[in-house]
Amino acid sequence: MNSGWRRRAARIGALAAMLCGLLGLVLLRLILLVSVDGAELVKLARVEHTSALKLAAVRGAIVDRSGRPLALSAQAQSVYARSAALLGRTTSAERARLARALGASPARVEALLRRGAPFVWLGRQLEPAKAAQVGKLGLAGVGLVTEYRRFYPEGALAGSVVGLAGLDGQGLSGVELRYDATVRGAPVKLRLYHDALGHQMLYAPVASDQAVVGARLELTLDLSLQALAERELRDEVAASGARAASAVVLDPFSGELLVLANVSAQADPQDGRLHDGAIQDAFEPGSTIKGILAAIALADGVVRPQTRIFCEQGKFRVDKAVIHDEGRHGWLELGDILEVSSNIGAAKIALALGARRYYDGLVAFGFGHKSGIDLPGEASGLLGGLRQWRRVGLATRGFGQGLAVTPLQLAVAYAAVANGGAIVRPYVVKAAYDSAGSAIFRQTPQVLRRAISPAVAHTVNTLLRRTVAGQHGTAHLAQVADFTVAGKTGTAQMVDFRARRYLKGRSVASFVGFLPAEAPRLVVLVVLYDVGPGHFGGLVAAPVFREIAAAALRGLNVAAPGPRFVEASLLGAVSEGAGQQASSAAGIEAADLSARSLAPAAADGRAPDFAGLSLRRALVLARRLGVTVSASGHGYVVRQEPLPGTSLSGHSLALFLAPDGRDGRPASRPSKTVGRANRARRRASG
């Protein structure tokens, strides 16, 4: 008995010891779970029972240089649904009312709910009226959550620069994309609760984090000037029939962009925010490259300002190709070549430079690679390999055919001429500030390299003034009252880069210049793409330059230099400070139109005398008079209908051109009437 009891007691003791040991192990494991693995297990539990959706973050504001807003974020309501709850506790009629409140079809809402997802968005960032209607329905399984919607208070203004942000708060283009990490702010997370099997907990609340505002970006753009530039471009696109246009206004010393404007004939605000033609579209620069060619040739010692080049009387054969000038020119100095825009003179300078030196000079000016602007998607342009720069290719590149540049590249290159030879990096974001107003960063001017010496830059600056103010210059319509302008026109054939061919009868018209030429403050470039015949750069781009440049100078409070005296009429010299009317008259006189009696024609509708004018200058005169012109032949005007002094019936005029002037001499020489007028002006001015 005692023996049996002892055996039972031993078994009970062993069992108790085993149980105590197991309990000790459980306690030890519990201690380890709490003290060592606790945090990780809590995290795993949360992951199993919650999920999160990222909502649009509170993006920081984007403002212009004066603080005027271009992009802001505002609260908006988004509608979500717990599919099972909504389907199980509402009728189809109630869901149809929900669809109508959302502005969607009942079939679409039903399809979203029956996909099997426990959580679905029914509408994102709704208008306040729609969100209020949804809330009034009070349907089970439907909820509202606050998000932040991006909106642009100035509409499409500067849209290609500012860019676009998506529904989820991500930058898609422009500054919104380039500075997305800075302006986005901390993402807002929407947390959803469900059981261990992943089923949505019907009565679990939806929680969201507090929004953290992103940085505020201050741009270099001037909103008023940007608006004026876009308006002027839009008007000229409509008047000239251009497909699109771009304008750039650049501080030549700092690289700050005051204007980066793009306008399309097919206006689509969304496309305008996704594509920036001023930095992403390349075109053949045409004669605007001649100013850069002159700088490269002077820097390499190939020419001097007094070097005389024979321009072959308007026709020059290079291998099997023939290069033409608009007029028949003989010996011309470098300034004359720029003034009359001689293709032959430019081709001969390029041939004298040689492919390697000209190519290296263009690269030094920034062509063929990106400028480094702080915007996404910048194009590099196209110079082509040196194998393509054989004799004919080299000659045509001298007057801007066979290479492609972006508007921004061309503006930066002319900025180097204006600032004394330095290539500066352009930029559009001036500074970024956090929510407390403290600066995160500020942009500072950056000189990338030197393209030419200050002496060469000054010489080219002086020569380029003749294009605008010279007697035979091609850009008289670019004159700005009381200021000296230096620049160059360009009219190049429109290229279809995909088909690798020129478009017949279609051109790119441009003008690039800087002012005041004596102490440059601004570089302004205007490009019109895909214009028809007769729309030269000096005729359609130069007037837009004039309006933008004049407004920019007013905005910057740039004072005009002291009074200068110019030839304005046959009566003698007058001060340029006399006002816009005197300046306009001077521009017409400088265009060699002084002998055409403009005032009587404008007053009583009689036709002026167009004889001896080139087609370009005839079109300038006709534009001033508001006359529609049809022309036949080439060279200079030898006959017109109606005749000079007769009535302009219907404000239309027919011009007949021939290579020689009406007196049988080469058309490059002035007519007798113009010669007498020039002599009279010289006598009047002493």
404, pLDDT greater than 80: yes
Q: Please say whether the beta carbons of 511 and 487 come within 8 A.
A: yes
- pLDDT tens track for 14-71: 888 888 888 888 888 777 777 766 676 666 665 555 655 566 668 899 999 999 999 9
Write down the CATH number for the domain with range 605-670.
3.30.10.20
Q: Collapsing DSSP states into helix, strand and coil, what is residue 212?
A: strand
Alpha-carbon distance 87 to 422, whole Å?
69
Q: For 514-529, give the DSSP string.
A: EESTTS--EEEEEEEE
Higher pLDDT, 7 or 43: 7
| Residue 575 pLDDT grade (very low, low, confident, very high; cuts 50, 70, 90) | very low
Of 138-142, 280-284, 403-407, 465-469, least confident by mean pLDDT is 138-142
Lowest mean pLDDT among 58-62, 83-87, 373-377: 83-87
DSSP code for 663:
T
Q: What is the pLDDT of residue 18?
A: 85
For the chain, how long is the longest CA-to-CA vector?
155
- In this predicted structure, what is the pLDDT of residue 681? 35
* Tokens read off for 171: 């930058």
Question: What is the average per-residue pLDDT within 198-211?
Answer: 51
Greater pLDDT, 579 or 528: 528
Please give the radius of gyration of the chain, using alpha carbons only, rounded to the nearest integer. Answer: 36
Question: Is 70 exceeded by the pLDDT of residue 514?
Answer: yes
Antiparallel, parallel or unpaired: β 429-433 and 439-442 = antiparallel
Q: Which residues contact 601 (CB under 8 A, 6 or more apart)?
A: 607, 608, 625, 648
Average pLDDT score over residue span 473-478: 93
Backbone phi and psi for residue 398, each to the nearest 5 degrees, phi listed first? -65, -30
Q: Are 452 and 421 in contact (CB under 8 A)?
A: yes
- Domain layout of the chain by residue ranges: 52-219, 224-561, 605-670
Asked whether the predicted pLDDT for residue 590 surpasses 60, the reply is: no
- The distance in angstroms from the start CA to the end CA of the chain is 152
d(CA 460, CA 655): 36
φ and ψ of 202, to 5 deg: -60, -40
Is a pLDDT exceeding 60 seen at residue 680? no
Q: Are 460 and 408 in contact (CB under 8 A)?
A: no
Of residues 493 and 290, the one with the higher pLDDT is 290
- CA triple 224-461-492, angle to 5 deg: 75
Residue 531 scores a pLDDT above 50? yes
Counting other chains too, the contacts that 440-445 makes at CB distance below 8 Å and 24 or more residues apart are: 440/182, 440/215, 443/374, 445/253, 445/254, 445/255, 445/256
Looking at the domain that runs over 52-219, which CATH code has it been given? Answer: 3.90.1310.10
Specify the CATH class of 224-561 in words. Answer: alpha beta
Round to whole Å and give the CA distance between 139 and 126. Answer: 18
Residue 440 token pair: 């995160």
CB-count exposure of residue 77 (10 Å: 0-12, 13-18, 19+): buried
pTM assigned to the model: 0.74
| Beta strands, E only, 451-544 | 486-496, 501-515, 522-531
Most confident of the following: 53-57, 357-361, 388-392, 499-503 = 357-361
Per-residue pLDDT at 41: 62
The reported pLDDT for the residue numbered 648 is: 72
Structure tokens at 652: 């239309």
Separation between Cα atoms, residue 521 and residue 557, nearest integer Å: 11
Share of the chain above pLDDT 90, in %: 48
Could you give the angle at the alpha carbon of 657 between the alpha carbons of 651 and 658, nearest 5°?
170
Buried b (16+ CB within 10 A) or exposed e, 298-318: bbbebbeeeeebebbebebeb
State the pLDDT confidence band at 593, using cuts at 50, 70 and 90.
very low
The pLDDT assigned to 173 comes to: 94
pLDDT digits (tens, 9 = 90+) for 237-290: 999 999 999 999 999 999 999 999 999 987 665 667 889 999 999 999 999 999
Whole-number Å distance between alpha carbons of 390 and 372: 30
**Given pLDDT bands bounded at 50, 70 and 90, which one contains residue 153?**
very high
The confidence score (pLDDT) of residue 577 equals 35
The mean pLDDT of 285-308, rounded to a whole number, is 96
Secondary structure letter of residue 651 according to DSSP: G
pLDDT computed for residue 188 by the predictor: 63
- Whether the CB-CB separation of 95 and 106 falls below 8 Å is answered with yes
Tell me the three-class secondary structure of 304-349, residue by residue. CCCCEEECHHHEEEECCEEEECCCCCCEEEHHHHHHHCCHHHHHHH
Q: What 3-state class would DSSP assign to 209?
A: coil
Are the C-beta atoms of residues 184 and 214 closer than 8 Å to each other? yes
- Please give the average per-residue pLDDT across 218-228, as a whole number: 97
Average pLDDT, the chain: 81
Query: Which tokens is 169 given?
Result: 């708060």
